[in-house]
Amino acid sequence: MRWKQVGIGMVVAGVVAASASCTSAPEAPEPPAAANRLDEVVQRGELRVCSTGDYRPFTYRDQAGEWSGIDVDMARDLAGRLGVEATFVPTTWKTLVDDFRARCDIAVGGVSVTLERAREAFFSDAYVVDGKTPITRCENAARFQTLEQIDQPGVRVVVNPGGTNEEFARSHLQRATIVDHPDNNTIFQEIVDGRADLMMTDATETRWQAKQHPELCSVHPDQPFTSSEKAYLLPQGDVVFQQYVDHWLDLAMHDGTYARISEPWIG
């Protein structure tokens, strides 16, 4: 009798277990993996934006952590067109490409198109053509019209490490003294206070900074030493996302969006 009871018990237990497994809620299926960054951003509900926050009028992050600037608002417009939120990720010019590849979907903020960066990422279409030109105290503007005048012993040229400004200065100056200043938000005060004689940066920035500091003058911003383009950094190899951003940018440049966003900054 005992073996019959044991056998019946095992059968009942098996039926109960089978019944429980049949009535339990099925696990939710995993969402399909995004085929490209465009789909991934939409699924995530967030556009992750790398920016240095130290290059007005394109990007600025104040001491309270609030972001502003032409490219900051452009990134928010892109996120809005995608129906997602823009999240800004602070970076530096030295770590821009590495941070972008590890943490972001797009990098903005007056990013110059260079061959070195193009080896690591895609670029959007260019939206600004600019070039390096000096900014100095107004009484010294006549002294620093040419690279030959600038590249003289005793001339102090201040640079922000890691960006194209430093690269340009170090590749063109042999006799002048190059002074590193780590904070691009305060670097122009070095010229105002007389600790540096000039800085060479993009003409757009020199125009904006000259408005903020009456002591400073932009030197021939309409005829800079170089010609370079600014664009947005995008994931390498993702043509779908690149084409979407390029199409959005083309619309923004022609439907008044870029003009409306940039007007408060550069007129």
> Model pTM?
0.80
Same domain, 103 and 155: no
> Is residue 138 located within the same domain as residue 126?
no
Q: Binning pLDDT at 50, 70 and 90, where does residue 30 land?
A: low
pLDDT of residue 163: 86
Q: How far apart are CA 207 and CA 221, in angstroms?
A: 7
Q: Is residue 22 domain-resident?
A: no
- One domain, residues 116 and 167: no
In a domain, 118, yes or no: yes
Residues 194 and 255 in one domain: no
* 205 shares its domain with 159: yes
Q: What is the mean pLDDT of residues 135-155?
A: 98
Residue 169 lies in a domain: yes
Based on the fold, state whether residues 152 and 194 are members of the same structural domain: yes
In a domain, 6, yes or no: no
At 34 the pLDDT is 83
- My answer on whether 124 and 234 are in the same domain is yes
pLDDT of residue 18: 43
Give the residue numbers spanning the domain of 74. 37-130+229-263
Residue 4 domain-assigned (yes or no): no
120 shares its domain with 186: no
Does a structural domain hold residue 143? Answer: yes
Greater pLDDT, 46 or 35: 46
At 20, the pLDDT band (50, 70, 90 cuts) reads very low
Please indicate, yes or no, whether residues 54 and 76 belong to a single structural domain of this protein: yes
Kindly report, residue by residue over 156-189, the tens digit of the pLDDT: 999 998 889 999 999 999 999 999 999 988 999 9
Number of domains in the chain: 2
> Are both 259 and 186 inside the same structural domain?
no
Residue 25, domain member (yes or no) = no
CATH code for the domain in which residue 251 is found: 3.40.190.10
Residue 22 reports pLDDT greater than 80: no
- pLDDT, residue 13, reads 45
Claim to verify: residue 82 and residue 93 sit in the same structural domain = yes
pLDDT tens by residue, 69-113: 999 999 999 999 999 999 999 999 999 999 999 999 999 999 999
pLDDT score of 120 more than 80: yes
Q: Would you say residue 14 has pLDDT above 80?
A: no
CB 197 within 8 A of CB 173: no
pLDDT at 267: 78
pLDDT at position 111 is: 96
Q: How confident is the model at residue 15 (pLDDT cuts 50, 70, 90)?
A: very low
Q: Give the DSSP letter string of the chain.
A: -HHHHHHHHHHHHHHHHHHHHHHSPPPPPPPPPPSSHHHHHHHHTEEEEEE-SEETTTEEE-TT--EESHHHHHHHHHHHHHTSEEEEEE--TTTHHHHHHHH-SEE-SSPBP-HHHHTTSEE----EEE-EEEEEEGGGGGGGSSHHHHSSTT-EEEE-TTSHHHHHHHHH-SSSEEEE-S-TTTHHHHHHTTS-SEEEEEHHHHHHHHHH-TTEEE-STTS-S--EEE--EE-TT-HHHHHHHHHHHHHHHHSSHHHHHHHHHH-
pLDDT score, position 266: 87
Same structural domain for residues 192 and 251? no
